[in-house]
């Protein structure tokens, strides 16, 4: 069936070949599988340094960590801010990892881009059009998370804002959507992976951590995502999840689980 599309630059009709984003030699898109791992939030220099070491040792390529956290309630920990960007940049450099961090407002795009290799737009900001427009004015790669109630068409139109501004380096991230199910935090929409790859040439990354909200589901959903053709994963891992500063410890892997998962994924990736 032919569906009419309101986006253009994000569409595979416009750009038949897979987009491959090359960041300092790490290729994202096409046949490559990129693994991003790290805590929900940057907490201290020691915390991010130790987790960076473990991500690298396990075979990951990108260190994740939020310095600015979009919290549901205003009294929750909001992130350590610019200091966190510096801590993460240092840990990334020391351990030879790229870094990804969330940016929430247009005003902070430049400072986040100064310290991080990839900028993340969170689910709550997928349709923050001023933020998307600002991200279109730079060349730093952007990982755009799907809004938790966004359709594929709305998601691709959000990506279109960044592309239309002149930044071609966009990856799409499926991180779960809101459904009637309450057992999981969100419902990871695995179908989104092949559908988005069919509709678009942009790399598709899966986030099984926010997609499930439960540690024990991260491994099977990571594997399912890779089997479905994901170009990469973004996974929360923490050395002390029970005492993490956001509530996301419950979905964070322990370092040994993270390492075991990456070993299995290596084998799985050869099959797909
Ligand atoms: C995160 O990655 O920690 C995060 C807040 O993700 P999301 O925007 O998908 O909830
Ligand atoms: Mn999180």
CB 192 within 8 A of CB 174: yes
Ligand 1 geometric centre to CA of 122 (Å): 5
Residues whose beta carbons lie less than 5 angstroms from ion ligand 2: 40, 248
How does 115-149 read in b/e, with b if 16+ C-beta sit within 10 Å? bbbbbbbbbebbebeebbebbbebebbbbbbbbbe
**Residues lining ligand 1, CB < 6 A?**
40, 66, 70, 122-123, 145, 175, 210
Mutate-to-test residue for ligand 1 from 36, 40, 187, highest number of ligand atoms within 8 A of CB: 40
ipTM of the complex: 0.99
Ligand 1 geometric centre to CA of 211 (Å): 10
Which ligand 1 atom is at minimum distance from the Cα of 175?
A: 9
Q: Helix, strand or coil for residue 103? A: coil
Question: ∠146-228-172 over CA atoms, to 5°?
Answer: 25
User: Helices 255-271 and 45-58 meet at what angle, rounded to 10?
Assistant: 30
pTM of the predicted model as reported, rounded to 2 decimal places:
0.98
Q: What is the pLDDT along the chain (272 residues), one digit of tens a residue?
A: 566 689 999 999 999 999 999 999 999 999 999 999 999 999 999 999 999 999 999 999 999 999 999 999 999 999 999 999 999 999 999 999 999 999 999 999 999 999 999 999 999 999 999 999 999 999 999 999 999 999 999 999 999 999 999 999 999 999 999 999 999 999 999 999 999 999 999 999 999 999 999 999 999 999 999 999 999 999 999 999 999 999 999 999 999 999 999 999 999 988 88
CB 200 within 8 A of CB 159: yes
Nearest residue (CA) to ligand 1, atom 2: 40
């Amino acid at each position: 069936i032919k569906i009419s599309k309101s986006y253009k630059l994000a569409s595979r009709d416009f750009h038949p070949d897979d987009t491959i984003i090359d960041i300092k030699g790490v290729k994202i898109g096409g046949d490559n599988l990129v693994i991003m791992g790290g805590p929900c939030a940057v907490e201290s220099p020691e915390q991010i340094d130790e987790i960076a070491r473990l991500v690298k040792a396990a075979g990951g390529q990108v260190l994740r960590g939020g310095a600015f956290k979009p919290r549901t309630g205003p009294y929750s920990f909001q992130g350590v801010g610019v200091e966190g960007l510096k801590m993460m940049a240092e840990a990334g450099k020391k351990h030879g990892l790229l870094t990804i961090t969330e940016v929430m407002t247009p005003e902070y795009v430049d400072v986040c881009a100064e310290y991080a290799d990839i900028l993340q737009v969170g689910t709550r900001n997928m349709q923050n059009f001023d933020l998307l427009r600002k991200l279109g004015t730079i060349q730093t790669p952007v990982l755009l998370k799907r809004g938790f109630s966004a359709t594929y068409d709305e998601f691709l139109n959000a990506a279109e804002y960044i592309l239309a501004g002149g930044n071609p380096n966009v990856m799409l991230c499926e991180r779960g959507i809101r459904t009637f199910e309450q057992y999981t935090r969100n419902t990871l929409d695995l179908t989104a992976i092949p559908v988005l790859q069919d509709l678009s040439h942009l790399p598709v990354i899966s986030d099984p951590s926010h997609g499930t909200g439960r540690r024990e589901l991260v491994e099977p959903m990571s594997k399912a995502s890779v089997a479905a053709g994901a170009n990469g994963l973004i996974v929360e891992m923490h050395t002390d999840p029970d005492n993490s500063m956001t509530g996301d410890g419950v979905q964070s892997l322990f370092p040994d689980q993270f390492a075991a998962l990456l070993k299995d994924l290596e084998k799985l990736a050869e099959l797909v």
